[in-house]
């Protein structure tokens, strides 16, 4: 990507990706708060957990069929690319500066992986007081105990740590590298050289996303119903 080329607004983050991002951020924060409050707040903790499950399922699907820069295929990097980025390289045609950079991609996959583990363990957890996951009866007591320990211990702190690192990275890029990561996740656009591939964000694309999200929400509601 030629740094001297004229810049134009390019749609990088499609609307479904942006909605997913902000909904997930709000839900995760609320999950942590309700877990710490406990008591009656656990009702909302469960509801938010099902919301996060639906959102994660949607993102996995959207990573296959979503906008160009939201597809996993366009931000899966090997070790060579990651080390090159850390040395200051901008990638082929400057692609590291468009969507998720190699380091940003690692952050995304780490957070998605930990959240999937957190949801999975929550589904079979049992606090031995008043709350059980809807799939608790499908596993052994030892498995449930191990899942509960992870869910309320290491898993929770890993999520908090990754969220803090995410925020610090945003601040670092804004202050040190003079790059605004929040703005494009709100508007969807970046000022980039002409010819940069844009993410499809048409009415048909959004309709597909709405259908996928509805299916994922239905699946989450079905799992919730298994707990009675």
User: Can you give the pLDDT at residue 93?
Assistant: 67
CA–CA distance, 227 with 78 (Å, rounded to integer)? 41
Extract the tokens encoding 173: 């890029």
User: Can you give the pLDDT at residue 118?
Assistant: 97
Print burial letters for 59-86: b (CB count within 10 Å at least 16), e (below 16): bebbbeebbbbbbbebbebeeebbebbe
**Dihedral sign of CA atoms 189, 77, 54, 22 in order:** negative
Mean pLDDT by 10 residues, the chain (228 residues): 72 97 96 91 95 98 96 92 85 80 92 96 89 92 95 93 92 89 94 91 97 98 90
User: Can you give the pLDDT at residue 146?
Assistant: 96
User: Can you give the pLDDT at residue 228?
Assistant: 66
User: Can you give the pLDDT at residue 127?
Assistant: 82
Q: Give me the torsion for CA of 67, 107, 115, 181, rounded to 10°.
A: -60
User: Can you give the pLDDT at residue 167?
Assistant: 92
User: Can you give the pLDDT at residue 87?
Assistant: 85
pLDDT digits (tens, 9 = 90+) for 95-140: 788 999 899 999 999 999 999 999 999 999 998 888 899 999 999 9
Backbone angles phi, psi at 132, to 5 degrees: -135, 145
User: Can you give the pLDDT at residue 88?
Assistant: 82
pLDDT digits (tens, 9 = 90+) for 148-159: 999 999 999 999
Extract the tokens encoding 216: 């994922």
């Amino acid at each position: 990507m030629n740094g001297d080329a004229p810049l134009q607004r390019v749609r990088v983050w499609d609307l479904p990706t942006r909605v997913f991002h902000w909904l997930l951020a709000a839900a995760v924060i609320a999950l942590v708060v309700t877990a710490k409050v406990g008591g009656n707040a656990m009702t909302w903790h469960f509801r938010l957990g099902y919301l996060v499950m639906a959102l994660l399922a949607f993102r996995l699907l959207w990573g296959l069929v979503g906008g160009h820069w939201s597809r996993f295929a366009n931000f899966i990097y090997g070790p060579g690319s990651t080390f090159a980025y850390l040395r200051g390289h901008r990638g082929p045609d400057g692609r590291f500066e468009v969507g998720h950079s190699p380091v940003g991609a690692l952050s995304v996959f780490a957070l998605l992986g930990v959240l999937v583990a957190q949801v999975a363990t929550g589904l079979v957890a049992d606090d031995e007081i008043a709350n059980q996951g809807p799939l608790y009866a499908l596993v052994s007591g030892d498995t449930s105990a191990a899942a509960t320990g992870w869910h309320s211990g290491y898993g929770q702190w890993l999520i908090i740590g990754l969220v803090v690192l995410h925020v610090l990275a945003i601040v670092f890029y804004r202050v040190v590298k003079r790059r605004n990561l929040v703005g494009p996740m709100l508007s969807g656009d970046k000022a980039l050289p002409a010819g940069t591939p844009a993410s499809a964000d048409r009415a048909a694309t959004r309709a597909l996303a709405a259908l996928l999200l509805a299916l994922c929400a239905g699946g989450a509601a079905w799992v919730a119903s298994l707990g009675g």
